[in-house]
Amino acid sequence: MSQHPPASEAAQAASTHDADTPNLDFAGTTPYEDYVQADVLTHLQHPLSDDPGEMVFLVTTQVMELWFTVIVHEWQTAAGALRRDDLPVAMAALKRSTYELQSLNASWQPLAHLTPVQFNSYRGALGEGSGFQSAMYRRLEFLLGEKSASMLVPHRGAPRVHAELEKALHEPSLYDEVLRFLARRGHAVPAAVLDRDATLRYEPDPAVEEVWQRIYAGSQEDELVRLGEALTEVAELVWRWRNDHLVATRRAMGAKTGTGGSPGVSWLEKRARHNVFPELWTARSHV
Ligand code: HEM
């Protein structure tokens, strides 16, 4: 934290301050610091190796964690708004999240061109650490309907993280809220889908596919088509994140096993194949 400036420095700042320049003189830390906590944020980087390339690996990971946090916030806002039948608020949050997803995806750039030798320079220092253990990413996947109780296991040792994930596991996903909203708008979403066990992974349902098919075949001005398209945009951008991750991994380490203990690229390929909001993709074949 910043200290109070010595009295002479403060007096000098006050005397040289001209009305056209920003304020220099604050009694404590700056209002910017109080709001942004930049001093905290920029001192959270503790590389584990001497390799100069590790810093950008660490910071990119931290930047992505921050974007995951914002996107989770937006999708929670959207889910809550749909629960209240407030479509405009839900649409605004979904739209913001698509811009955020684009920024998230753009942050792959510094890691997208690593050679195996460059990655090896600090890979050993990561030990068993892996993005697979990211709790915020897990919350993001849970909101998409990709639920799994076993994903809580790695977080048993961190009570706050575990409690947040457990809550997210039991809450309806964003897609569950979308389908309940469509049902309240008179669409034939089956009761078994509406009352499904929210802790389980969402499985595609032919009747839900028919609902989207009917919506998409109707007026293109319908706000439900716009909702479908906003969700499709989200789904595509998540798929792009997974694929950019996959390609960056393939470039950096080929077919080696992951630091998290998975077979690596072949495991990520399987994950990337999971369709987000599946019926929004399959319904298109029938419109
Ligand atoms: C080029 C650098 C990277 C490589 C080589 C890499 C490699 C891997 C591998 C092999 C896995 C599978 C699990 C394992 O066995 O470890 C994985 C999972 C994962 N990584 Fe990365 N990773 C990289 C960068 C990142 C970054 C910057 C993030 C941002 C947080 C990230 C987030 C994740 C997440 C969330 C998973 C789990 C995916 C899922 O559950 O479907 N990775 N990574």
Interaxial angle between packed helices 223-253 and 265-273, expressed in degrees from 0 to 180 and rounded to the nearest 10: 170
Residue nearest to atom 21 of ligand 1 (CA): 131
List C-alpha distances in Å: 108 to 57, 59, 99: 10, 11, 15
Cβ atoms of residues 283 and 213 within 8 Å: yes
State the distance from the centre of ligand 1 to the C-alpha of 145, rounded, in angstroms.
Answer: 20
| Residue of 72, 107, 130, 133 to test ligand 1 pocket, by largest number of atoms within 8 Å of CB | 130
Q: For position 1, what pLDDT does the model report?
A: 42
List C-alpha distances in Å: 234 to 76, 96, 101, 117, 145: 14, 10, 8, 35, 13
Confidence of residue 276 (pLDDT cuts 50, 70, 90): very high
So where are the chain's domains? 28-286
Q: What's the rounded Cα separation, in Å, for the pair 60 and 54?
A: 10
Q: Where are the alpha helices (DSSP H) in 126-264?
A: 135-144, 159-170, 174-184, 191-194, 206-217, 223-253
State the distance from the centre of ligand 1 to the C-alpha of 231, rounded, in angstroms.
Answer: 24
Enumerate residues 6+ apart whose C-beta is below 8 A from 96.
Answer: 74
Closest ligand 1 atom, residue 262 Cα: 15
Reported as a single tens digit per residue, the pLDDT across 178-234 is 999 999 999 999 999 999 999 999 999 999 999 999 999 999 999 999 999 999 999
Helices and strands in the chain, H and E counts: 14, 0
pTM for the whole structure: 0.95
Question: Residue with structure tokens 């792009």?
Answer: 240
Confidence of residue 2 (pLDDT cuts 50, 70, 90): very low
Residue nearest to atom 25 of ligand 1 (CA): 131
State the distance from the centre of ligand 1 to the C-alpha of 107, rounded, in angstroms.
Answer: 14
CATH fold of the domain at 28-286: Methane Monooxygenase Hydroxylase; Chain G, domain 1 (1.20.58)
User: Does the pLDDT value for residue 155 go beyond 90?
Assistant: yes
Reported as a single tens digit per residue, the pLDDT across 104-126 is 999 999 999 999 999 999 999 99
Average pLDDT along the chain? 95
Q: Counting beta carbons within 10 angstroms of the beta carbon of residue 74, is it exposed (0 to 12), middle (13 to 18) or buried (19 or more)?
A: buried
Confidence of residue 18 (pLDDT cuts 50, 70, 90): confident
Q: How many CA atoms lie within 13 A of 145 on its CB side?
A: 20
Q: For position 7, what pLDDT does the model report?
A: 57
